[in-house]
Structure 1
């Protein structure tokens, strides 16, 4: 089991008495611990874990906390970070915390981006070149990019900086031992807001499908509730000719009527899981429920 020490320091007029509201400090430290854990799992896999423990407090005209990072990561993984200087966990800590090593780390990269979108990423061995829309460039390591793309790490890091939202707290500094590796100021707080999730299309296909009608929606834009034989689904009707017949009372509906439709089914990956959308492109046939028995013809 390996350990590495680092320090987080809060500074500003509100801390002149060397005191800090525990309701601001505790959630921020918990989020910092969660960010380290999320980073460890993003880089090393779900079985790895980083534990952050409070070691001691100090007072130097601001308010700071000494923390100990304990790694349960396999030694072979630590060695991957060792590089020429053999720093092992110290280098891993720099990446996990986004400190100054390895081309700047996650925090330094986010400070450099200043909220700008990445236009493209060029790959050169283990190096990644971030290129913004205004053609500004930054070279980072592969594992720093992994953290920039990892939603849970970004969300926890954002919350760890919440004390900057408080009046009188102007900066948060992170560093190992007595050094300061990176500082985030109040005006830079917005650079660390996690981008909203974008839904990803898993697949989209068109097919012919039969539905019985569960509930009609005559107001424009509302979805119909249709039953596909297994479940009731919400369906948008994009067949304008069919809707025109409905609105002009040329289509009437009875219980157990069936619509044979050309349907587009799209499945999305969202933060909440898989979402499925149904859209009727064309109503091919409206089968009314039979009111008489079918008998053999004479």
Structure 2
């Protein structure tokens, strides 16, 4: 079993007697449990493996809560991948006052702005573009950011208490000796989870070589796959010149043909689900594999 201690402090003019409105406190307490449970699901792939216990500590002008998070390794012997322990989950969530960019720090960097582009660096890291700025973060942090249930919990923990006239600062840490990560009331809007019914999360264009599984000769979506057939998907084709050649039978296709393309990948938040849409915006090369024509 792994454990992590988390200390939360709410500061503000209404907390001079170290008391806090139960309408602010109760949702925040429940939100932290949900936040850690959802983070555990995103990072470890399972639910119901964390326990959060509460101890209260008080100072004049603040309301402090100490949590102990217990993470039980009940599945570790059954998997080849080592679970991420509670202390690392806390760091990925941004509860560590270090140079590591966790989720809370990532929200503060975004300042409510949408991600414009993602650029994969390697298996562990990804570069994020926002307006004219860019930053490199671990992919696990981005995975946490894209989980809407987790974002709703973060809103209840940070945004809603800071909207109270009594509270003007939220502080959290998994090691008080290293300091606290803080969010001021004027930063609280950045932690709002409100979203449109379908919200654009990211959009990127990259050059790919794809295998044609099922072409469409009626202007519909094409069934495509990676060269090793590990990932198959449907993609629209917005390259009008290529579409004209296909519809006029100037392009013919055989089993195993490949296309070198510029592929636009759009990631959308649809309710609580993340979905990807694909569009081939330019066909650069068409490589014919054999003479076995696909039926038109």
Residue number in structure 2 paired with 1:271: 271
Would the aligned equivalents of 2:69 and 2:86 in 1 still touch at CA under 8 Å? no
Deviations 1:159-209 (CA, angstroms, capped at 9, x unpaired): 112111110210000012424331111100110112414449xxxxx9xxx
Deviations 1:93-114 (CA, angstroms, capped at 9, x unpaired): 2114554457310110000111
Q: How far apart in 2 are the matches of 1:140 and 1:100? A: 16
Would the aligned equivalents of 2:115 and 2:129 in 1 still touch at CA under 8 Å? yes
Would the aligned equivalents of 1:118 and 1:132 in 2 still touch at CA under 8 Å? yes
Residue number in structure 1 paired with 2:287: none
Deviations 1:84-134 (CA, angstroms, capped at 9, x unpaired): xxxx5322221145544573101100001111111101111111111112x
In angstroms, what is the RMSD of aligned CA positions?
2.8
Would the aligned equivalents of 1:98 and 1:144 in 2 still touch at CA under 8 Å? no
- Structure 1, unpaired ranges of 5+: 82-87, 201-205, 207-267, 274-298
Given the alignment, which residue of 115, 125, 143 partners 1:146? Answer: 143
Given the alignment, which residue of 174, 178, 193 partners 2:176? Answer: 178
* Cα separation, partners in 2 of 1:147 and 1:47, compared to 1, 3 Å: same
Residue number in structure 2 paired with 1:93: 90
* Cα separation, partners in 2 of 1:141 and 1:80, compared to 1, 3 Å: farther
Deviations 1:5-27 (CA, angstroms, capped at 9, x unpaired): 11000001111111112221111
What is the deviation of 1:59? 2.2
TM-score (norm 1): 0.60
What is the deviation of 1:137? 1.1
Q: How far apart in 1 are the matches of 2:167 and 2:140? A: 31
Would the aligned equivalents of 2:54 and 2:67 in 1 still touch at CA under 8 Å? yes
* Cα separation, partners in 2 of 1:80 and 1:2, compared to 1, 3 Å: closer
Aligned length: 200
Q: How far apart in 2 are the matches of 1:16 and 1:60? A: 5
Q: How far apart in 1 are the matches of 2:114 and 2:29? A: 28
Which structure is larger by alpha-carbon Rg, 1 or 2? 1
TM-score (norm 2): 0.60
Would the aligned equivalents of 1:5 and 1:68 in 2 still touch at CA under 8 Å? yes
Q: How far apart in 1 are the matches of 2:99 and 2:120? A: 16
